[in-house]
Amino acid sequence: MNDSHRTIREQLGAYLLGGLTAPEETALGAHLDGCPDCRAELDDLRPVADALAGVAPQDLAHAPAPPPFLIERVLDEVRRTPRPAAAPPRRRAPLLVAAAVVVAALVGGGVGFIAGTGPDAPREAVAVRTLAGGVQASATVIPHTWGIEITLDADGFTAGTPYRVVVIDDAGRTVGAGEFLGTGADPMVCNLNTSVLRAQAAGFDVLDPDGRVVVHGEL
């Protein structure tokens, strides 16, 4: 990777979060026009920035704190990154650290998935079927020693309506996994926890207030 690629890649996160100056954006745009590799990198980062854009400040207040090892790792990375002699004002590193910490908080136990390594087992993609018009949903599952954690990434649930999530075990029992309010067209990412262990979990249902299945996931 030559120096200009390196500089550009360091700026991609800040760019997606709207943190670059106008001249920096112009330079970055010019480089991206001619560099498919950096464009691909930008595409990889985009979902993270989109997830951040969907975060309401009041949700952050209740987000679980990221584990200390992750904060340390992010700070180490920042400390070890060599700075060019004539560096522009350092305003983007804190922004990216903040972004990394927010992402870590959002994914909770799924830190390993974003960071590539970690104490948790990997996230597992779940086959999801939606049974209500307008609802779009995808889900992943993390097996824990205490049960499973389901992350539901969705939009189209009726705004303000409470939905209940149950996990179905292999004996056909349904066990509560929590509730959430629909957010309409706004995308939501919702973590749901249940005591059913991965080995016994057969699927999960999202139920509307009338008990109708709106989304079904196969586990």
Provide the binding-site residues for Zn ion, judged by CB under 5 A. 5, 35, 38
| Cβ atoms 196, 147 nearer than 8 A | yes
**Least separation in angstroms between CB 6 and Zn ion:** 9
The residue among 23 and 89 lying less far from Zn ion, judged by its C-beta, is: 23
Q: Report the distance separating Cα 210 and Cα 163, nearest Å.
A: 10
**Least separation in angstroms between CB 37 and Zn ion:** 5
**Least separation in angstroms between CB 5 and Zn ion:** 4
**Least separation in angstroms between CB 77 and Zn ion:** 20
| Cβ atoms 115, 73 nearer than 8 A | yes
| Cβ atoms 109, 124 nearer than 8 A | no
The residue among 81 and 136 lying less far from Zn ion, judged by its C-beta, is: 81
What backbone phi and psi angles, to 5 degrees, belong to 30?
-65, -40
**Least separation in angstroms between CB 9 and Zn ion:** 7
The residue among 10 and 120 lying less far from Zn ion, judged by its C-beta, is: 10
Q: Report the distance separating Cα 177 and Cα 206, nearest Å.
A: 10
Say how far residue 50 (Cα) sits from the centre of its chain. Answer: 9
The residue among 5 and 198 lying less far from Zn ion, judged by its C-beta, is: 5
**Least separation in angstroms between CB 116 and Zn ion:** 22
Write the CA distances from 114 to 72, 122, 127, 180, integer angstroms.
15, 10, 20, 24
**Least separation in angstroms between CB 3 and Zn ion:** 11
The residue among 27 and 35 lying less far from Zn ion, judged by its C-beta, is: 35
Q: Which long-range contacts (CB under 8 A, 24 or more apart) does 36-40 make?
A: 37/5, 38/5, 38/8, 38/9, 38/12
What backbone phi and psi angles, to 5 degrees, belong to 32?
-60, -35
The residue among 38 and 177 lying less far from Zn ion, judged by its C-beta, is: 38
Closest to 139 (Cα-Cα) out of 46, 37, 215, 41: 215
The residue among 38 and 141 lying less far from Zn ion, judged by its C-beta, is: 38
